[in-house]
């Protein structure tokens, strides 16, 4: 299968090139040239299938032409070593828990899949590939853990010194092996600028092979469709209309849901659940897309002012605002509303949300109609945001999963760097 660019200004490429390049040459995002529907038999058997089995069937529709069946099965099964349970929180409102992976956030699914797919493609070449990733927290941990121990790949995580939470820092500084943490004396923007400079450095690229693992990459983005099918598989009453509420930042997660729907998953609506960074909500209401600088909120993984995957949504619906607003509605909540939701759900049901999931839950509570079942994506474990969540529900009420505790035990190892490119470049040139 070939991949085209959302800017339609560069030739189509193979899956291998789409994955190793990340972004198209014309700066557009790659899209698969076909989205094939799943057969009726798939939907009649889905409830009896495991997450791994049903995901493999979905994966074949995208990657089946380009990867031998046995290899693809291995990639899918090794990626999904955890489930995404569907938990009823309130009448007709379910939490799709996406935090049971190694770093307790949904990004584990895409990062683990991408690591294995990249490794498959590199296997033929036998040269070392260096993955550069700038992070403000969650992405670095998912990518580092996803690529941990994958042969032929070294990961370099650039993060701003003193600006990530303890648990986030431990998740990518304690791993060792093929993961190196670079602690940059600067901001997240400085980290991103360093990575960008490296990608523009043609001399450097003659010496070492570098690639990026951000959410624009099709190998991180497409596998996120798997768990929408898994949610449907686990839903007992399939006679009601289903609405997915997706806490959104860069909109990779929601766009993957739209792909699932195009493949035949019976979804009535998607809710773009936003914090105060509500550019898409405004677009849905007005038809005008107006990016603006992001503002900080307590659901910080959604603090995005110009969501990169929005280009994919426009492309999927041929820029037709009416078509898009027929399938998507939006909401926007401020920090007080997020805290209020977290507390009231905890008090009335005992279920502990994280700040991002709270946005998704509240959107369903307010927008769900008679006869509809709502599923919100619980994108991270509340313990990843212990400080914020404890402020709301009280100290000692946010249990830390063993997995996260294990990270806390490890010893932090990082290399400190100034934010100037010359020093970073010197480090890269010395890599083989």
Ligand X SMILES: *Cc1c(COP(=O)(O)O)cnc(C)c1O
First to last CA, the chain: 33
Q: Confirm or reject binding of residue 84 to ligand X (CB under 6 A).
A: no
CB 301 within 8 A of CB 355: no
Tally of CB atoms within 10 A around 279: 23
Q: Is residue 245 at the binding interface for ligand X, with CB under 6 A as the rule?
A: no
| Binding residue count for ligand X, defined by CB under 6 A | 16
- Shortest gap between Cβ of 258 and ligand X (angstroms)? 12
Measured from the CB atom, is 174 or 245 closer to ligand X?
Answer: 245
If one asks whether residue 105 binds ligand X (CB under 6 A), the answer comes out as yes
Residues 158-177 that bind ligand X (CB under 6 A): none
Q: Which of 38, 353, 380, 392 binds ligand X (CB under 6 A)?
A: 380
Q: Least CB distance from residue 248 to ligand X, whole Å?
A: 4
**Count of alpha carbons within 13 angstroms of residue 96, beta-carbon side:** 29
Residue 107 annotated among the catalytic residues of the structure: yes
Give the x/- contact pattern for ligand X in 324-363, rule: CB under 6 A.
Answer: --------------------------------x-------
**Toward ligand X, which CB reaches closer, 173 or 253?**
253
Interface of this chain with ligand X, residues 184 to 223, rule: CB under 6 A: 215
112 binds ligand X (CB under 6 A): no
Compute the least distance from the CB of residue 43 to ligand X, in Å: 25
- Using CA atoms, how far residue 129 sits from 26, 118, 138, 178, in Å, is 23, 9, 22, 11
Q: Check residue 132 for interaction with ligand X (CB under 6 A).
A: no
Q: Is 301 in the site for ligand X (CB under 6 A)?
A: yes
Instruction: Please tell me which residue in 60, 61, 74, 107 is annotated as part of the active site.
Output: 107
User: In angstroms, what is the minimal distance from the CB of 253 to ligand X?
Assistant: 4
User: 20 or 297, CB closer to ligand X?
Assistant: 297
Instruction: Compare residues 22 and 247 and give the one whose CB is closer to ligand X.
Output: 247
Which sign, positive or negative, has the C-alpha torsion 342, 164, 279, 334? positive
CA atoms within 13 Å, Cβ hemisphere of 4: 11
Can you tell me the distance from the alpha carbon of 95 to that of 284, in angstroms, rounded to the nearest whole number? 25
C-beta of 206: minimal distance to ligand X in Å?
33
Q: What is the C-alpha to C-alpha distance for residues 225 and 263, in angstroms, rounded to an integer?
A: 10
**Would you give the binding string for ligand X spanning residues 250-289, x where CB under 6 A is met?**
xxxx------------------------------------
Q: Between residues 175 and 273, which has the closer beta carbon with respect to ligand X? A: 273
Backbone angles phi, psi at 362, to 5 degrees: -60, -40
Shortest Å distance, C-beta 307 to ligand X: 7
Minimum CB–partner distance for residue 69 and ligand X (Å):
29
Q: Which stretch binds ligand X (CB under 6 A): 4-12, 86-94, 246-254, 341-349?
A: 246-254
Q: Does 388 bind ligand X (CB under 6 A)?
A: no
Q: Which is nearer to ligand X, 4 or 106 (CB)?
A: 106
Q: How many CB atoms lie within 10 A of CB 79?
A: 25
Candidates 102, 160, 249, 374: give the one binding ligand X (CB under 6 A). 249
Which parts of this chain interact with ligand X (CB under 6 A)? 105, 107, 138, 215, 247-253, 301-302, 356, 379-380
Which residues are catalytic, by number? Answer: 107
């Amino acid at each position: 299968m070939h991949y085209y660019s959302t800017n339609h200004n560069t030739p189509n490429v193979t899956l291998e090139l789409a994955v190793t390049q990340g972004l198209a040459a014309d700066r557009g995002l790659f899209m698969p040239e076909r989205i094939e529907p799943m057969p009726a038999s798939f939907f009649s058997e889905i409830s009896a299938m495991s997450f791994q089995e049903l995901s493999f069937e979905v994966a074949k529709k995208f990657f089946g032409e380009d990867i031998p069946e046995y290899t693809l099965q291995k990639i899918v099964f090794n990626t999904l070593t955890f489930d995404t349970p569907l938990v009823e929180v309130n009448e007709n409102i379910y939490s799709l828990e996406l935090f049971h992976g190694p770093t307790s956030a949904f990004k584990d699914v895409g990062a683990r899949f991408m690591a294995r797919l990249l490794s498959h493609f590199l296997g033929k070449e036998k040269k070392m590939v260096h993955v550069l990733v700038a992070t403000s927290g969650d992405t670095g941990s998912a990518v580092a853990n996803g690529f941990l121990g994958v042969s032929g790949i070294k990961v370099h995580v650039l993060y701003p010194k003193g600006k990530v939470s303890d648990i986030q820092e431990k998740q990518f500084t304690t791993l060792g092996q093929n993961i190196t943490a670079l602690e940059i004396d600067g901001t997240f923007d400085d980290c991103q600028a360093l990575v960008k400079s490296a990608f523009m450095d043609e001399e450097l690229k003659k010496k070492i092979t570098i690639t990026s693992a951000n959410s624009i990459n099709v190998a991180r983005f497409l596998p996120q469709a798997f768990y929408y099918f898994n949610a449907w598989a686990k839903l007992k009453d399939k006679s009601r209309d289903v609405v997915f509420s997706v806490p959104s930042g860069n909109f990779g997660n929601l766009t993957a849901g739209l792909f699932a729907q195009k493949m035949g998953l019976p979804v009535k609506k998607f809710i773009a659940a936003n914090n105060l960074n509500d550019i898409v909500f405004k677009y849905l209401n007005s038809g005008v897309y107006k990016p603006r600088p992001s503002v900080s909120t307590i659901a910080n993984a959604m603090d995005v002012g110009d969501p990169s995957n929005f280009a994919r949504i426009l492309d999927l619906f041929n820029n037709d605002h009416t078509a898009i607003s027929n399938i998507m509605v939006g909401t926007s909540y401020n920090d007080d509303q997020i805290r209020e939701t977290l507390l009231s759900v905890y008090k009335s049901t005992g279920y502990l949300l994280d700040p991002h999931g709270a946005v998704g839950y509240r959107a369903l509570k307010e927008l769900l109609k008679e006869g509809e079942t709502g599923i919100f994506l619980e994108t991270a474990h509340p313990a990843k945001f212990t400080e914020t969540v404890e402020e709301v529900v009280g100290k000692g009420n946010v249990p830390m999963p063993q997995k996260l505790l294990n990270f806390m035990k490890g010893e932090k190892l990082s290399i400190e760097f100034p934010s100037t490119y010359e020093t970073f470049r010197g480090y890269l040139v010395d890599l083989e």
